Structures are given as structure tokens and as C-alpha cells.
Amino acid sequence: MSTAEFNPKILNPNDYTPVGDIMVLSLCIVVGVVLILNKVHKNNSYKIMLAMIGALILAAASSLFYRIFMGAEHINVGLLYFFRIMNHSFLSLVQFTYVLYLREPLWMKNEGYKRFIAAITIIAAAPIIIDILGIVFRFGFYVSDGVIHSDFTVYPFAYMAFELVIFYLIIRYRSRIIRQIFICLVSVNALSLILTAMQGMFNQSSFNTFVYFIPAVGLLFMFHSNPYDQETGAANDNFFVQELSNCIEKKIQLVMIGCVISDFNTNIKNSRGLKSEFHQFFKQNIKRGVLYRFSSGKLVLTLKKGKKGNFDRAVGKMLDAFYSRHEQVGIDYKLIVAEIVPEITNPSEYIRLLEFIESEMQNNETHRVTEGDIRRFLSTNYILSELEDITKKRDLDDERVLVYCQPVFNIITGTYDTAEALMRLKLPETGLVFPDKFIPIAEKYGLIHQLSLTILNKTCREIHDLIAEGYILNRISVNFSTLDLRQEYFSEEVQDIIIRNDIPYEKIAIEMTESRSELEFNRLKAQVTDLQGLGIKFYLDDFGTGYSNFERIMEIPFDIIKFDRSLLIESVKNDASKYMVSTFASMFNDLNYSVLFEGVEDERDEEHCRNMCAKYLQGYKYSKPIPIGDLRGFLQKAV
């Protein structure tokens, strides 16, 4: 290849230092590693961002080599041309990927999007073509007779054209993005233009690559580091907590509108109709405030109450617009309107408040949170905090967990020799709390297992004392949730508690409800097999309510089948119902299952159950639930 000597009269060697390219190269490598290793959603935008970072790395590297060859004593002309064109090609690729990336945040439709892609392609390709033509026909940048010439360069003009297109896009589609994103996009691109202008003023080209890096890193921080969701333009729930904290601290009136749309995460991604309607609603109605999107798909819009204007009327118009859009889309929803209140000062509790109200609502309803809702929520939240503390402390003798029981009458012996352990809570602020209040909360938040183990421990301790005092007691049954079966060491935990209290295994029975889940059924079957071999009895609880699979019941060797009171009520309605229930009871009896009827309230119920092969009876006729210590009044002592 031929070589050329550098001529300072033609090209100024002091217009460039490598610091800008080295800085971009280093930062992009760090950003690329963080993006790859960080647990961000690997969607199409993520791939475009990686391509943009890769193009910046190659642009910075080729710029360094281009300048190295330009400053060499003996310049390799072929490599000089190659790295110059590579540098400008990769910078053009950055422009191209930048516009590709903006498609999602700006919700650009195919027709308009294709026009902008065509415009950017022309802007990006034109200077490269002009540069190549200049090399061939000796104008612009070229080497001739050992001298490097640079009469003019088209790249600053191409970059200005690129930025004009970007500003046009941002301004045209500003109604489709929230204010924070709009400000950030304008700011980073304006800063890039200012830096370009300053380079021109000082006759510098050291930061050519860096001016492309600034808008790219702006996208990175907006959508990947502190992500705004591109499909909806919403911020994540971390920002929600921050905004609530600020409003609570400064006593700013804030309204929250929570929206739960059925399968929102899937529908917004796959349904063009929903995305289009969402965009139209967003553009026309959300003029202020911040929209948040939670991982579950829940959306929450926060609006600060101003001193001027009819705020309630504005919210009402927004809801009316939502209802109108819903008629076209038809996907189930729930809307909750709530405000910051003095009684709730912890920001995270407002998330629970919205979940609490949502759980009580039907589909396609709107609910404005009232003072009564707040009182019920605070009560529920207090119970939840106590349950969390009980679970955290893992104290099997926790005084807040009380054991009640209901004696069970044995028809064969005419005595009370078994009982069912029942759970109560006694909390400092509310006193006695019944299972219908705290069991659903404990199961919902995964806090039931510690309660189950505590009740088992206290029941075993009471059995130990009753045996020591000479009372005749066959067993006491303890209820366990299907959630307990998910615990890896469930069988070992049950055995450890029974051994610790020094009682025979057969003095304990475990009550379980049947599960529809195949996985839970298999777990139940394995647990029954393990523990029943030790002598522990198993009850099938609530037979006759909701779901009963005879094949599964036969597969698991339960000892006692508990007929729910609903079957007892049904059996007295007519002869057909009586025949059906009595046939079930007779069948189980013939298969060596013991039948226990729950909910026996009077002599008539008792007689009816005796005629249906019952062995055990339980209900208010014999006793209401009592503290387990009072069971002594029902048991007999051995002679």
C-alpha cells in the first residue's frame, strides 16, 4: 500500500485528544457487562440497547485507530480510510438503533414508523457515501501526493439532521409519554447538541463519539436502570413508594386510582386492540400525575390535589372515559379510588390497602375507599403484623396462639374420648380473634405453618398432662392446611413435636381437606403414608363441600371421614337426599372408615345421624368450642 505524510498546513493535529474515545470505550464496556449480568427483562428493547452499546464501542475503537494512523510518521493510507469509514459507519448505526429503540416508548405505529426509519437511513448513509465518493474523486477528506486533505466534512450536518428528527419525534409524540420521560429525552438530546456546538466553537473533535453516547445512556437509565415500562409508559413500584413517602411527609393530598385488568401483562403484549385503546385513553385523559405498573400487572395512577379546580369532577370524567373504552375492549377490570389518610403513615401499607379492597370486589366494579374500609383494613393489617411477628419468632409456646377444642361424642361407647383442637388468637390490641378473621390472612401471606406447628405443640402438651392425670383420651385431631404440605420437612416437624412432648403417636390425629391440585394430592398421599405408619390417624375434613373425588379418597387411607353439616341439612329435606347421604355413610362404614358428622345441634340431628351409620358426633348439642383445659369436664378417668 502507498503511504502519505501528515501535512499540518492542511489538517490541524491539535483538534483531537483520545480522552473522549477512551472514556466512551470504558463506560460502554462497563454498561454492557452490567446489562448482560443484570436481571433485566431480555426483550426486544434490551437487544437493541445492547446493539447500540456495541456500536458505540466499535465507533470509539475505530476512532482511536483512525487517529493513531493519522498521527503516525508513515501513514498506511488503506487502513486510515478503513478506520475512518468504520468509525462513521458505527456512529450511523448508533443513530439507527436509537430510532429503533424509541418505537416502543413513543408507541409509534407501523406507517409513521417506517417513514422515520427511511429518513434516518438516508441521514445515516448519506455522509458515508459522500465520504467514499470523496476518497475516489478527491474532495472532502482524502490523501493526495503524500498529503492528507480535509476540505470539509458532512458529519456535523448529518448529526444536526439526526437530532432534528429526534426532537420532532419527541415533540410530536409527547402526549404518549409521561412528563418525566419527555423531560429526560429532551434534556439528554439538548445536552448532546450543546456539546457538539461547543466542539465547533473550539475547533475540536475529541468528543464526537461521546455526543452519541449521551442520548444512549439517557435511554439506559430511563428504561433499564430505573425502568419506566415501555408498553404503558409507567414507572415501577419503587417510585410509587418514594412518591407516597414524600407526600406523607409533606402532607400533600394524593389520590390513588388502582386498576386491575384481567391478565393485563399478557393482553397488553399480545393484543393490539388493548394497546391501542390504552394509548388513546392515556393520551386523552392522563394529563398529569404518574402512572405506576406493578409486576402483577396492576396499574396505579397517582394525582396530587390542586387548590384550584374541581378535582372530583376531573376524576369522574376520567372514570367515564375508562368505562367508555372498556365497552370497546371488554376485558374484566376492578377500579379502586383511594386517598392518603392520617391513619396510614407507612407507604407500603397503601399497596396492601389496594389489595385488600380488590380482594372483596367483583369484576367490572369501581369502589371508592371509605372510612369503614380504612377501619377494616387497619384491623386486618394489625392481625397480619402480629402473624408476621409470630412467624418470625418461631416460638412454639407463643402466648398469642390459644388452643380451644370441641369434644366429640363416641356413639359406640357413649363417652367423650376424642376432640378437635381449634385455633384462636389473643392479641394485645383486639383481644380474642376467631379463625374466620385470621386463617384467610395467614394462608394468603404464607404465615399459616407456624400457627399449625404451635397448635400441634400446645395440643400435645395438653394431651401429655391429661394422660398423666389419668383421663381416658383416644386422641385429639389438629387441623393442617394444604399449604403445610408444601413444607419440605413437614413429617419430621410433626414427629419432633410429638416426641418432644413425650406422648404416643396414636394420641394425635391430623385433619386435612382434599386438594384439587395433583401435586398437592401426591404430597398429601406421601405425608399420610409416612405418618400413618407411626400410628397417627388421619381425618378427611369437610366431606361434601365443593369438591370430592372418590378415586382420590380411596387412594389415601384416611381413618375417619368427617361429613360437613351441609350434608346433614340436605339429608332431612326429602327421602332422596336422605338416601344419598346415608348411602355415602354406609359405603364408608363398609370400607372400614369411621364416619363423623359435624354440626349436630339437637336431638333430632343426633337421631338422624345414628340412623346413617355414624360413629362420632360433633356439634353444639354436646359443646361449643371451649379452652382445651376445660376438656377435663367431658373426659372420664380410668378406674
Task: Determine the pLDDT at residue 405.
Answer: 97
Which has more pLDDT, 99 or 226?
99
Phi first, then psi, for residue 528 (nearest 5°) are: -60, -45
On the question of pLDDT at 435 being above 80, the answer is: yes
The span from the CA of 400 to the CA of 423, in Å, is 11
Kindly indicate the confidence band of residue 449, based on its pLDDT and cuts at 50, 70 and 90.
very high
Where in the chain are all domains bearing CATH 1.20.1070? 3-225
Rounded Cα distance, 103 and 106, in Å = 5
Question: How far apart are alpha carbons 456 and 464 in whole angstroms?
Answer: 12
With 0-12 / 13-18 / 19 or more C-beta atoms within 10 angstroms meaning exposed / middle / buried, residue 48 is: buried
Which pLDDT belongs to residue 610?
A: 92
* Confidence tier at 139 by pLDDT (50, 70, 90): confident
- The stretch 370-398 carries a mean pLDDT of 95
Domain 3-225 fold: Rhopdopsin 7-helix transmembrane proteins (1.20.1070)
Higher pLDDT, 3 or 307: 307
Give the count of alpha carbons within 13 A of 554, CB side only.
7
pLDDT at 547: 55
pLDDT for 442: 94
Which architecture, in CATH terms, is 381-633? Alpha-Beta Barrel (3.20)
Closest CA to 408 of 572, 537, 588: 537
In the DSSP assignment, the letter for residue 559 is S
Question: How far from 105 is each of 238, 380, 431, CA to CA, in Å?
Answer: 20, 39, 53
Return the amino acid letter for 562: K
Q: How far apart are CA 616 and CA 622, in angstroms?
A: 12
pLDDT at residue 9 in the model: 35
- More reliable by pLDDT, 614 or 175: 614
User: Are the beta carbons of 347 and 244 closer than 8 angstroms?
Assistant: yes
Highest mean pLDDT among 200-214, 409-423, 585-599: 409-423
Q: What is the average pLDDT across 399-415?
A: 96
**Region 141-168 average pLDDT:** 83
Q: Mean pLDDT across the chain, nearest whole number?
A: 85
Task: Tell me what pLDDT residue 386 has.
Answer: 96
The residues near 371 (Cβ < 8 Å, ≥ 6 apart) are none
- How confident is the model over 557-568, as a mean pLDDT? 89
CA–CA distance, 592 with 3 (Å, rounded to integer)? 102
**Grid cell listed for 180:** 418525566
**Residue 593 neighbours by CB distance under 10 Å:** 20
481-534 pLDDT tens trace: 888 888 888 999 999 999 999 999 999 999 987 665 666 677 777 778 888 889
8: pLDDT strictly greater than 70: no
Cα–Cα nearest to 50, from 228, 224, 231, 269: 224
At residue 459 the predicted structure's pLDDT band, cuts being 50, 70 and 90, is: very high
List, by residue range, all CATH 3.30.70.270 domains of the chain.
Answer: 237-369
Confidence bin at 321 (pLDDT 50/70/90):
confident
Cβ(617)–Cβ(609) below 8 Å: yes
Counting every residue written for the chain, the total comes to 639
| Cα–Cα distance, 538 to 25 (Å, whole number) | 68
Confidence bin at 421 (pLDDT 50/70/90) = very high
CB-count exposure of residue 414 (10 Å: 0-12, 13-18, 19+):
exposed
- Residue 242 banded pLDDT, cuts 50, 70, 90: confident
pLDDT at 1: 35
Q: Where in the chain is the domain with CATH 3.20.20.450?
A: 381-633
Tell me the CB-side half-sphere exposure of residue 74, using CA atoms within 13 A.
3
For domain 237-369, give the CATH number.
3.30.70.270
Question: Is residue 346 classed as helix, strand or coil in its secondary structure?
Answer: coil
- The SS3 call for residue 284 is helix
Span of 286-300, 344-358, 371-385, 458-472 with lowest mean pLDDT: 286-300
Which has the closest alpha carbon to 502: 467, 476, 478? 467
Q: What gap in Å lies between CA 558 and CA 524, rounded to an integer?
A: 11
Of the two residues 283 and 541, the one the predictor is more confident about is: 541
How much is the pTM? 0.64
**CA proximity to 458, closest of 384, 524, 508:** 508
What pLDDT is attached to residue 266?
A: 79
Measured distance CA(464)–CA(504) in Å, rounded: 9
The string of pLDDT tens digits covering residues 573-623 is: 888 888 888 998 998 988 889 999 999 999 999 999 998 989 999 999 999
